[in-house]
Amino acid sequence: MGSGNPQTITVSGSTFHASGGNGIQISGSSNTFHIVRTSAVGSSGTGYGLYEQTSGGNTITVDHSQLSGTTGSVLVSSPFSAGASQLAGTVSTGTATCVASYNGSYTALSATCH
């Protein structure tokens, strides 16, 4: 997902299961991404549920979703917020905020998603 011009992109009620790579891969900058009621699984090799290809500049929110991968659940540089979501695997972000979110073992994540 991505765009050359600033856009707001919403993914809702979807399931992504990569057979090789990342569940959701973001490119571009100055975009706003909303991931709602979505499951994204990255598998095989260095797979993330959510991966940002660019070096930041986006805004990313995740709500009532599940993100997981063979390497980690999230690898992004942009500001990242998750609410009521399962992040099964390591979360690597610049600035992160998690509320009512949990890991793959259903253990609550801290406010910084760890």
pLDDT band at 39 (very low <50, low <70, confident <90, very high): very high
* 112 is a domain residue: no
Q: Based on the structure, what is the number of domains in the chain?
A: 1
pLDDT of 2 over the 60 cut: no
pLDDT band at 4 (very low <50, low <70, confident <90, very high): low
* 114 is a domain residue: no
pTM of the model: 0.93
* 64 is a domain residue: yes
The whole-number pLDDT of residue 83 equals 98
* 56 is a domain residue: yes
Q: Domain span at residue 87?
A: 8-99
* 35 is a domain residue: yes
5: exposed, middle or buried (Cβ count in 10 Å: 0-12, 13-18, 19+): exposed
* 104 is a domain residue: no
Task: Characterize 43-70 residue by residue with b for buried, 16 or more Cβ atoms within 10 angstroms of its Cβ, and e for exposed.
Answer: beeebbbbbbebeeebebbbbbbbbbbb
* 82 is a domain residue: yes
* 108 is a domain residue: no
Over residues 43-100, the pLDDT tens digits come to 988 899 999 998 889 999 999 999 999 999 999 999 999 999 999 999 999 899 999 9
